[in-house]
Amino acid sequence: MRGIINLRPSIYFILVLLFISTSCGLKPAGSNEAASVPTTSLSVYVFSAPWCAECNRELPLLKEKYFKELTLAEQSQVSVSVFVVTGKTPGQVASQEVADEYGNSLALPFTMLPDKSYKMYRKYFEEGNAIPAAVLLDNNQQAIQLYEAGSTDLNDLFAKIKQNLN
C-alpha cells in the first residue's frame, strides 16, 4: 500500500507534463504528426580556406550582408554553409577542428564544414581548385548560380536570393 502512495505523485506529475506538452502544441516522442519546422528554400555554399586572404575579406562581408539584406523570415529560409577546403596552410587536409576554429576566428554564424580533397567543391566546379567560390542552390540542391573564384558578387548573390525567395 505504501508503494502505491509513493507512486501517485509521480504519476500525477507525468500526467500534468503530458497535458502541458500537448496543450502547447508539442508532440510526444514517436508521434506520427509532422512538426512544423521551417525548411530552407535556398542554400549558399561557400568554398574557403583559413590562409586565403580574399576568403578572409569576403566572409565577413557575406555575414554583414546576410544580416543587413535579409529579414529574419528570409534568414530562416536561407542556409549558408562554408566548406573549408584545406587546413591552416595550402596542402593540408581540412578537418572539422580547423573549420570550427576558422569560423570562430571570423565570428561567422554559418555552418562550417571540412571539404577534404575538394570533394564538395568538385560537385559544382569540375576544373581547378581556386577559392573563394560560391554556389546558390534551390531546395532541390540544384545550382541556381555558380560564382567561380574571384567572381562572387555579393550584391548579385543577394539579389538572386531575394528573387528566388519571392
List, for residues 34-74, the tens digit of each pLDDT value.
333 345 799 999 999 999 999 999 999 999 999 999 999 99
Taking the C-alpha atoms of residue 2 and residue 125, their distance in angstroms, rounded to an integer, is: 71
d(CA 106, CA 82): 12
Q: What is the pLDDT of residues 65-80, one digit of tens each?
A: 999 999 999 999 999 9
Burial 37-64 (b: 16+ CB within 10 A, else e): eeeebbbbbbbbbbbbeebbebbeebbe
Alpha-carbon distance of 162 to 147, in angstroms, equals 17
Residues 83 and 46: their CA atoms lie apart, in Å, by 6
Contact 86, 49 (CB under 8 A): yes
Average confidence score pLDDT of the chain: 81
The pLDDT of residue 17 is 35
- Residue 102 has, within 13 A of its CA and on its CB side, a CA count of 31
Cell of 135: 554556389
Domain with 19, as residue range(s), is: 1-37
Is 46 found in the same domain as 33? no
- Asked if 6 and 64 sit in the same domain, the reply is no
Are 8 and 62 part of one and the same domain? no
Tell me the whole-structure pTM to 2 decimals: 0.74
Are 65 and 130 within one domain? Answer: yes
Sign of the dihedral defined by the CA atoms of residues 162, 45, 61, 157, in that order? negative
Report the domain count for the chain.
Answer: 2
Are the C-beta atoms of residues 58 and 152 closer than 8 Å to each other? yes
Residue 99 near residue 82 (C-beta atoms within 8 A):
yes
pLDDT mean over 82-104 = 95
14 and 52 inside one domain: no
